[in-house]
Amino acid sequence: MTRAKILANSKLIVVKIGSRVITSSKNELDSSAIETLVKDIEELYRKKYQIVVVTSGAIVAGLADLKLGSRPTDLPLKQAASAVGQVKLMHSYATAFKKYNIPVAQILLTREDLQNRHRYLNARNTLLRLLEKGVVPIINENDTVAVEEIKFGDNDTLSALVALMMDADMLIILTDICGLYTDLPCDNKEAKLISHVDKVTPAIEKMAKCKGEGAGGMETKIHAAKMLTESGIPVIIADGREKQILNKLISCEEIGTFFAPAEQKKKSKKTWLAFSLKSKGQIVVDKGAKEALLKGGKSLLPSGILSVKGEFEAGDSVSITDENGKEFAKGLSNYSSEEIQKIKGLKSSEINKALGYKDYDEVIHRDNLVVL
């Protein structure tokens, strides 16, 4: 499907704004850059597009008040800078949108919010209701309370997960370079911009080595693009410093790098299983079980399990790997790691004898399993 055809049918768009797009060379928040982007968003808003903003910049915005000359490296100081800067960041957005009488809402998320199915659906429903009421949601990671185990690590990943959660028509990642290049543009003047990517292959991933803005650089942007396009959602990476960049993109100007979506889209729950959850452990299966899961669309039974790694409880997300350690599926386990150790290799009819009870025939039901 062409860029023009996809853009013509895109109405709910997630826009990720990188920190360097809205901060100055002095590591200060650039209100004029925010105002320019908000004007761009306002024009789309008037054309009845639904826009969800995922923004970086809170930590940088808090540096001056904490008398820090550069971005801190230790987590508590990052959290302190974010706590101070988030207020200033949202004030800048709210002030800019107020000029056009557009209400905004602040949403702060951690990965834990998206791992819990109930909280995931609650966040989705809240965002949908805000959009229905004409409010522009502005989302950031909740750096102040997030710890290393639950941090997204970068807002590229967060924006992709939000796009998946919202079943968005497109993700636009605005950064400080024009898109994906064949080589490092900072080192090679002959490097060329790639305008269209049909599929994120290992070769494409190798091109994403030049560190761009913020915590993620181009590598996390390509990872986000791969995540989304495999789920049927297109992605554009473009220079957020270019005037009217969003309207130019929506008008089908051939700027930035466009990542085409896969034709088949995963169902909402399968998407949540595949990308929002972190695996708590690993289940190793034999060849027969792997084939049944990949080709037969079957549930995972204890008879096909060779071993279990890590400690997890019933209901936790786990990786499913083959005998060579290659992950090929994920799912929600009906049994804990301790229980699986006792029933691995057994028939379902033997579970009760091994455990003294049997809650399920399957270790992972096919409705709670996704092939990667």
Q: Which CATH architecture has domain 3-266?
A: 3-Layer(aba) Sandwich (3.40)
Q: What is the pLDDT of residues 94-145, one digit of tens each?
A: 999 999 999 999 999 987 788 777 788 888 899 999 999 999 999 998 876 6
- The pLDDT assigned to 191 comes to 84
- The pLDDT assigned to 119 comes to 84
Which residue type sits at 278? K
Name residues whose C-beta falls within 8 Å of residue 324's C-beta, 6 or more positions apart in sequence: none
- The pLDDT assigned to 153 comes to 59
- The pLDDT assigned to 1 comes to 67
In 68-105, which positions are buried (b, 16+ CB within 10 angstroms) versus exposed (e)?
Answer: beeebeeeeebbbbbbbbbebbbebbbebbeeeebebb
Positions of the chain with pLDDT lower than 50, given as ranges: 149-150, 211-215
- The pLDDT assigned to 211 comes to 46
- The pLDDT assigned to 236 comes to 97
Whose tokens are 């709910």? That residue is: 12
Domain boundaries, the chain: 3-266, 279-371
Q: Regarding the domain delimited by 279-371, which CATH topology (the fold level of the hierarchy) does it fall under?
A: 2.30.130
pTM, two decimals, is: 0.79
